[in-house]
Structure 1
């Protein structure tokens, strides 16, 4: 990049139709391009990204309603726009489609039959919920399977085949990876012990160092690899059940032998952007297809143009369009209707669905609508509509009264066998036998199936055309009867072929919370038939029973007593997916609403789940995504590469490596202003968290400089109360404590930190790689600021791209509270003292520090615990390094090195003594 001696190569593109079109020549340079991303403070939910630029419109090209424009009918509201600059190297971009790949033909060198070593360096969503191919020789459809390295949800998997047909595999759980990382798998086909060994690794790049993932996986017999005719592909396209990678590949290697001869080495980092093919250093000739391309563009913004305001001067010679583009969340947040309940959204997607009535109508309803085309409304009389809103997976449902009746007609099915299911909540078992539901059947001797409930048991019976009982049975297990009432249940009645001309008629009920099933069944000599209708008639015994989501399916069961129904579409959705993790919820919503949103994720700790959530209630898509982010405490923001969202979970913010290291004394790296702010914007010392629909917890900071105590002992009360979607009542206290920890972190904020890239172009690669939530530091701050590193998280930024200037102003918050404990880490595993003071004064030069522990355990002594030394303490702003400690009682003596943070001063007796970096327990 020749900038800043030549103009900055800023490219502006509009998606005209389906093609990205370069409109840089029409972008005025008299007005710099400005971009805003992320949040202006520590808000969990950043604002929509914004981009401002000006287009030359003298020809009327950018007037959407101008018939003479070459773009007439192709641009308008929400036309995608993106802005990019050149990066320091090229990459292979892939879009995850089976038409996009890099391929080299099969040659003998690639037909490895023995030991194998595959390596790929890529930028990807490593925790994506789909299986993605990375590199391999693999065609499933023609049994040309040789070797394949791929990602599965949470796993790195190596597949290979001995004969080209059957596949062998080995997998390891993926650790948390940076956005760009290298993965490697080796196969030792004969480990000398009568078996094979697979080992997997990751590294920051293919230059290493390689870290083994888990332990080697050992097979019981020697193996080999099929020498097939499939081409070698980066992102293979013909692996059944696997999609090509959606991301960037920087380089890859195939080696014959572990650490052996390189037989393919596609490395695109130094290639000219736009090439349609290349030859690698091993002599392999590669071609690209589909959307696969060599590019070096680093996208600074991708969004949508919501309006095209034409402007001109009084002469009419200067005509322009000032564009204000916004990120995806602007549209998602504009007038979006609420997503319906999870049951209402999920059930219509079921295979074999014949009829469905959610029964979520308002209080004035007289009948229930069906979202299934051609299905007549359900008639429900005497009910109290929208009376019960306690089922997590539903909007408010009706309760039956005395009397109430239900009648639903079902269109004829083309196959025999059926399943009828609904949710209900019955307060108590009636004393006398009470009919709950009746299914009318066509095409069988069994014309009716009926389910009853009473304190005597749950009864199911089959009746003939004369309404005479063919066969019945009653189930009276105490646990089953107790589970039938008092909570929301799913009741399913269904058939199955029991053989010998018999039909297995079963009913099962399942508490939507515990998911424990109970069954009652009979098998009369009759055909299964098809459902013609469903009815119910209720009196005082069932008064107050909630009902809803009545569905009819043409899916028979197995015909075995105690076997569940064939269709399980209600599962999970019935309680609103309560108990799923925040990340799983966001991914499920993104999958369900794929036409509206794409989501990728950064998971900082793959061994721990994100926060468990309560029921998903109806609401707008963006609100539900933000609710999940609020519950977990991570950051939901917009992808700058595409119209998509990224969720960065809370654990990804813990203990981050430094993404951008600045030096205040280096020319141009930290221009003014650098202004720390001591304010109370984020101060919270009294936090109450309530679980939606559940309990609450309150945590108060009652001691220390930021406590609720009145000044000068504290700052007074700064309280906060919030309600979150949580799975259990154990969560509010933990979350309240964490939020109080963040809200009482005693450190100045640096609301803005600027970087002038035209004055410090060496920082460009690091800045281009940074994203929302990343960590930056400033070394050697001026003497009038606190000593030591300024350590911050970037929560958002404003960027200005001009011809000869490029600067970024970052909105930051302290990184300190996110430095959490790590077991057995020499720095992050030390618990702080509960209370220690200086036992005598210190001059500015003494190297002995006498202390007295007033509360809790004493400090470790160097004779007993030599491996624990050295460690750092903080005394009235000065950091000292403790090299040894004598004494095994409360009074001890430290030998110290003074001024570790550049501060050396005298200290009075009784001054507080603390670890410089105490362990913080992560949420």
Structure 2
């Protein structure tokens, strides 16, 4: 039986760590319009996955879904991009999820002081029960997770078996905000309790209550819970309800419509891919990594050669541009001419005549940073190179009561810090023991809280107790002291200032790896997570093997485009999660030799739409490949080309770490798709009529799941065909659930397994996979 749950997070955004959900199921037109989810996944295995959309029609008779209507119970939060999730509840009779506590008790919540654990001391069903331990207060309850999929006006009965030891407080069942059942009367044995009520909402919660005021440590075991239609409890059904998430995304619009005096709102929603459409093109990877750590001031200093200033990219209010200042006479400061970290940008080069004559950069840090530097500890970060030394940067208060000067000693090449405190005077510390005057690019991080210093990703000996804590910092000089002296000769870039909070120097030291390798060689799953984090999203993965990927230094396009580069290189699938504001990344290994998730007989399909395709739509036998740091090459399936002629798509750019991996990827493509094979490309299902077990298997399946169609007509090439789901659309109506699956041949993804009876048959399944 198909039951719907539609929830909206009014007042939240999709990336909030905790969303307060409002159940709007009772206003969804499930009878006439139904709920549709369109275009999850892709049309076939060669095309990119697309954003999925979800459409619902809502009864707006009382104006609750009218945007801007002050009397709406959701006002003022009927706004664009509200989080929304749609789920299907599958059940035969018992609507209680996890009804025998085999999956734990974490979703049950307490009022008062009771605690709950799984326990096997007393069991009515399965291997565990919920043991509740009461405190010595009255009014204690243990409340179930929300029970969805109820029908308003229908009478339901909640039943549960309870075991109360002699002398402990009796218990009773209740419905939150509604009825309370009779208390238990049996001790040292299981007794079945019940409570009935009429649903006033499509979702309710039920409870176990302690009667009166228990003694501290009184307990009860609860097991075999059931919620069913009717006024009395029937035989316990251990096959409780399961929730199957079908869509998670954002509401695009709230259009109010009228038919006479009646009103409805037909909303269209888009999954988390929409989040990418609102994000700007990414800056170089090093900049994105710095921004993740939330600097209050950040100057990448990658402006063009004609610039005389550089801007703050922290996004906070207050810091001015770094502008060129003249000290004495002569000298130059030219942008985009120096070598810096791996960021695809140039750096400014400081070339003074001498230590007292030349140019440097100055910025006002603003009131926000001044206040934060007084209330919290600061962190300082910069990249530099020199063959001489002198002052890298100075952070100071405008009255010069406080300052920190970071410099490279002209005599030893060591990293140094000179600091001043109005009360304690000036102190100088050696904070690095290596000669940095080698013309190479170096990185340093300083954390004021614990006096931690990292140079080139390595923590220096410390603590450096002589460095004074600072306050009221409002000015930054790059390439000079607070009074414009000891002018820097060399390059400086990526100057960033932070306040501590939970941030440490060790956190920022990781920027050294970004600036020197851009994380070349990390797995595709790690790269996916890294890129998604730049727009505030998480990535979950499926599959066991993820290939290393090459660096993506400059980025410069949308996050989604760069995620697609990784997806293409891995030959995986990038999807939106159906249950949260996250991405789902599948490795290609997920598809290798899969076990079918379910099977369905041909006679149970919606047969008029079943078609066996045989054409050249997917044929590829000639392929040009390139990779950013390697060669360009051409791969040919000669036998296929001789038979069918050339089928060559555009050049495929891959971010593999070696040419060999790129060639292997190309060979895998032209061998998979060099010879057309007949296949089912669309499989329609009325899923809710196929029995609960099969129905659940279908709902748990997703893109890359395999299934088998059995008992095909005699005209088919075989009596059964196994397909892989590439994408689907679905329509959920009252007690019906129709799906249209976009499918491909599963055996295209079979690969050789040593000594396997199925996948090591000479000349048949001895195919090496990429």
Q: TM-score, normalised by structure 2?
A: 0.65
Trace 1:55-66 onto structure 2 (pairs within 5 A).
55-66=58-69
Trace 1:556-567 onto structure 2 (pairs within 5 A).
none
Return closer, same or farther for 1:410/1:321 CA change in 2, 3 Å cut-off.
closer
Q: Deviations over 1:772-831 (max 9, x none)?
A: 11111223433333225422210111212234653211101221222223344333245x
Q: 1:78 aligns with which of 78, 81, 84?
A: 81
Contact 2:407–2:417 (CA under 8 A) maintained in structure 1:
yes
Partner of 2:287: 344
Query: How many residues are matched?
Result: 616
Q: 1:733 aligns with which of 663, 675, 694?
A: 663
5+ long unaligned stretches in structure 1: 2-7, 112-117, 122-134, 139-262, 264-271, 289-293, 498-502, 556-563, 833-914
Trace 1:741-752 onto structure 2 (pairs within 5 A).
741-744=671-674, 746-752=676-682
Q: 1:703 aligns with which of 628, 638, 656?
A: 638
Q: Aligned equivalents of 2:266 and 2:431: distance in 1?
A: 76
Matched, 1:629 2:567: yes
Return closer, same or farther for 1:568/1:459 CA change in 2, 3 Å cut-off.
closer
Partner of 2:522: 580
Partner of 1:490: 442
Return closer, same or farther for 1:274/1:591 CA change in 2, 3 Å cut-off.
farther
Matched, 1:536 2:488: no
Trace 1:453-852 onto structure 2 (pairs within 5 A).
458=413, 484-485=439-440, 489-492=441-444, 508=455, 510=456, 534-536=477-479, 547-551=492-496, 568-574=509-515, 575-590=517-532, 593-594=535-536, 597-602=537-542, 604-605=543-544, 608-615=545-552, 617-664=555-602, 667-669=603-605, 671-692=607-628, 694-704=629-639, 706-707=640-641, 709=642, 713-744=643-674, 746-757=676-687, 760-761=690-691, 763-787=694-718, 789-803=720-734, 805-829=736-760, 832=762
Q: Aligned equivalents of 1:598 and 1:105: distance in 2?
A: 32
Q: 2:23 aligns with which of 21, 43, 52?
A: 21
Matched, 1:320 2:274: no
- Look up the SS of the partner of 2:699 in the other structure: helix
Contact 2:403–2:419 (CA under 8 A) maintained in structure 1:
yes
Contact 1:418–1:528 (CA under 8 A) maintained in structure 2:
no
Return closer, same or farther for 1:737/1:274 CA change in 2, 3 Å cut-off.
farther
Root-mean-square deviation (CA), in Å? 5.2
More helix by percentage: 2
Q: Aligned equivalents of 2:377 and 2:85: distance in 1?
A: 54
Return closer, same or farther for 1:418/1:920 CA change in 2, 3 Å cut-off.
same
Partner of 2:244: 298
Partner of 1:842: none
Partner of 2:309: 367
- Look up the SS of the partner of 2:663 in the other structure: helix
Contact 1:79–1:304 (CA under 8 A) maintained in structure 2:
yes
Q: Aligned equivalents of 1:803 and 1:720: distance in 2?
A: 46
Partner of 2:277: 334
Q: Aligned equivalents of 2:245 and 2:633: distance in 1?
A: 44
Q: Aligned equivalents of 1:20 and 1:777: distance in 2?
A: 38
Contact 1:38–1:797 (CA under 8 A) maintained in structure 2:
yes
Q: Aligned equivalents of 2:405 and 2:728: distance in 1?
A: 69
Q: Aligned equivalents of 2:406 and 2:65: distance in 1?
A: 67
- Look up the SS of the partner of 2:248 in the other structure: strand
Return closer, same or farther for 1:31/1:373 CA change in 2, 3 Å cut-off.
closer
Matched, 1:31 2:33: yes
Q: Aligned equivalents of 1:350 and 1:333: distance in 2?
A: 20
Contact 1:13–1:24 (CA under 8 A) maintained in structure 2:
no
Q: Deviations over 1:281-328 (max 9, x none)?
A: x9723899xxxxx96333333333211233344xx2554333222222
Deviation at 1:48, TM superposition (A): 1.3
Trace 1:39-438 onto structure 2 (pairs within 5 A).
39-43=42-46, 45-88=48-91, 90-92=96-98, 101=108, 105=115, 276-277=206-207, 284-285=221-222, 296-313=242-259, 316-329=260-273, 331-347=274-290, 356-361=298-303, 365-370=307-312, 371=314, 375-380=319-324, 382-385=332-335, 391-392=341-342, 394=343, 396-400=345-349, 405-408=359-362, 421-424=381-384, 433=388, 437=392
Q: Aligned equivalents of 2:97 and 2:490: distance in 1?
A: 62
Q: Deviations over 1:638-667 (max 9, x none)?
A: 222344332222222222110121232xx3
Return closer, same or farther for 1:645/1:784 CA change in 2, 3 Å cut-off.
same
- Look up the SS of the partner of 1:807 in the other structure: strand
Q: Aligned equivalents of 1:491 and 1:339: distance in 2?
A: 23
Deviation at 1:678, TM superposition (A): 2.3
Contact 2:57–2:264 (CA under 8 A) maintained in structure 1:
yes
Q: TM-score, normalised by structure 1?
A: 0.56
Deviation at 1:634, TM superposition (A): 1.4
Q: Deviations over 1:162-190 (max 9, x none)?
A: xxxxxxxxxxxxxxxxxxxxxxxxxxxxx
Trace 1:3-22 onto structure 2 (pairs within 5 A).
9-17=3-11, 18-22=20-24
Contact 2:567–2:573 (CA under 8 A) maintained in structure 1:
yes
- Look up the SS of the partner of 1:300 in the other structure: strand
Deviation at 1:39, TM superposition (A): 1.6
